[in-house]
Amino acid sequence: MSMLKSAPVRRVVFNQKGGVGKSTITCNLAAISAQQGLRTLVLDLDPQGNTTRYLLGAQADGLTADLAGLFEQTLKFTLQPRSTAEFVVPTPFPHLHLMPSSPALEELHGKLESRYKIYKLRDALDELADGYDRVYIDTPPALNFYTRSALIAAERCLVPFDCDDFSRRALYALLENLQEIQADHNRALRIEGIVVNQFQARASLPRKLVAELIAEGLPVLQPCLSATVKVKESHEQSLPLIHLDPRHRLTQEFIALHDGLQRPG
């Protein structure tokens, strides 16, 4: 059953640390949004293209429209520029569309930064505003032009966190960087919460770290996402968990996380 549609929301999933599950979280929350009937768009700003591969599988090869093309268009004058919608591709899943990544994003980075095209992504999403109920933006594991563009374009930020001391130290630096983006570029941006990923409930260290983050007043979202090999299976088959195994414990945790984010406040 489709859920009641509310105001459009743009979320960026961001952490400067790699390997914390940004693509997994982006794709699974987006897939649940789409499965519930919300018109959902995913942007893959990471040149590695894990999100693109996850959602498209073999269809990711040979794409003629991607985010590199959108950004490249901003660097040159053209009498008839392509509309932003022309860089969106369908996925195999109803209501779910994608602006794919490309390795060419790496090559374009320096040119875009030097020409200060930092607001172009926000402009592009404004152009698509009437077409989607939810937008999810996956980002590279670095605070660079693409992640800043995403943080400027979004209204809410989800921060994936895996339970180790290195991640905790990186988290404080990340939160400072987010506050700087808020102050300088996007006062509408708010940190929606920290998503604890690969959580092992029976291990003492993860429980201790999460309890300490909560005690510090940080916005740790519930539920934590369990560690399971089902995620690898999901990646290999290019099937988000809601389509691979709707009754699996991790799928149910993703649904609970997704539905909690829809509540006002």
How many CB atoms sit inside 10 A of residue 208's CB?
11
CATH match of 9-261 with 3.40.50.300: yes
Q: What is the DSSP string of 155-180?
A: SEEEEEEESSHHHHHHHHHHHHHHHH
**φ, ψ at 32 (rounded to 5°):** -70, -40
Cα gap 157→185, rounded to integer Å: 14
Question: Taking a C-beta distance cutoff of 8 angstroms, is the pair 32, 90 a contact?
Answer: no
Diameter over CA atoms, the chain: 61
What pLDDT is stored for residue 17 in this prediction?
87
Q: For each of the chain's 265 residues, which pLDDT tens digit applies?
A: 444 455 689 999 999 988 899 999 999 999 999 999 999 999 999 999 999 999 999 999 989 999 999 999 999 888 889 999 999 999 999 999 999 999 999 999 999 999 999 999 999 999 999 999 999 999 999 999 999 999 999 999 999 998 877 788 889 999 999 999 999 999 999 999 999 999 998 899 899 999 999 999 999 999 999 999 999 999 999 999 999 999 999 999 999 999 999 876 5
pLDDT score for 2: 44
> What pLDDT, on a 0 to 100 scale, did the predictor assign at position 1?
40
Backbone Cα Rg of the chain: 18
